[in-house]
Chains A and B, each alone.
Chain A
Amino acid sequence: MKVFVNSKETSTESKTVLELANELALPEKGVAVAVDNKIVPRAEWANSPLKEGAQIVIIKAACGG
């Protein structure tokens, strides 16, 4: 399946947000995920299926003032 992670087309076998998070080795803390402009809380990752062409935004902490 093809999805877009931060606007970049990506092939994945993952069927849920949780599987994708594991595939990308996202850290335990300091990340947030939105799918098709809707924030998906970590507790719901396992129950959030990915669809073909989904637009996924993943952010993490960065240095800034």
Chain B
Amino acid sequence: MDKLVIAGKEFNSRLFLGTGKFDSNRLMEASIKASGTEMVTVAMKRIELEDKEDDMLKHIVSQNIQLLPNTSGVRDAEEAVFAAQMAREAFGTNWLKLEIHPDPRYLLPDSIETLKATEKLVKLGFVVLPYCQADPTLCKRLEEAGAATVMPLGAPIGTNKGLRTKDFLRIIIEQANVPVVVDAGIGAPSHATEAMEMGASACLVNTAIAVAGDPVAMAVAFKQAVEAGRMAYEAGLGTQADNFVAEASSPLTSFLN
């Protein structure tokens, strides 16, 4: 398989993992390892005084893993820039998953603020991976603003509904000059395979793995699904017949006569 390159950095794995919703940090750590991922998202929260909880960071810090802090919780570009700077200070990386979704009900990204923030953050030296609507025009604008990838959604966050935006993802993939990472909505390994077969560069998966009956086994399933989809894409899929006439794959000789 080709290596994935983002902002000059090579990745062997095309599966990115989110760290939310796992029952325990131990289970999260085991799932990360099993998935073979080299990119893991991390959120930020305000500390509480007298806080004694287990530090999640020590479960994911590894030389092979690029931390991808997110800006979850911000409502506009200005807050995103502040959060990004806090993240850079806290995690020592200028990589950033930019996500601005002011509406907690559907968690849909605000395209205008996302574009504004991307423009500002790129100028400040961040490697910006924006979570965005599956809007081909917006994705071009984000790319022009200097985004390192675009990360359009397949379906709303955490819904496991799969590639509801498939037709738009196809256009985005066709037009993009930066890697396209399908983020949000991927609920089953088959969804990830489908995205990769379409030519997506990577998939970001969180809920589908974290809430599975056996998250570690599901992480392996996603690893294989992403690899299968990518290999199929690189191998070149046969064209799909657009009529209902069968085309034999065996010779139609008179075997029985």
Contacts and interface: CB of A to CB of B under 8 A. Distances in A.
Contacts of B57: 27, 29-30, 61
Contact of A5 (B20, B49, B85, B206): B49
A35 interface: no
Q: Which 6 A-B pairs have the closest CB atoms?
A: A64-B43, A65-B18, A65-B206, A32-B90, A32-B89, A62-B45
B89 A10 contact: no
Nearest to B18: A65
B43 A62 contact: yes
20 contacts: A6-B47, A6-B49, A8-B49, A29-B91, A30-B55, A30-B90, A32-B87, A33-B89, A37-B82, A39-B85, A39-B86, A59-B44, A60-B47, A61-B90, A62-B45, A63-B20, A64-B19, A65-B21, A65-B41, A65-B43
Q: How large is the interface on A (under 10, 10 to 19, 20 to 34, 35 or more residues)?
A: 20 to 34
Interface of B: 18-22, 25, 28, 41-49, 55-57, 61, 70, 72, 82, 85-87, 89-92, 157-158, 204, 206-207
B86 A32 contact: yes
Nearest to A40: B89
Contacts of B49: 5-6, 8, 10, 24
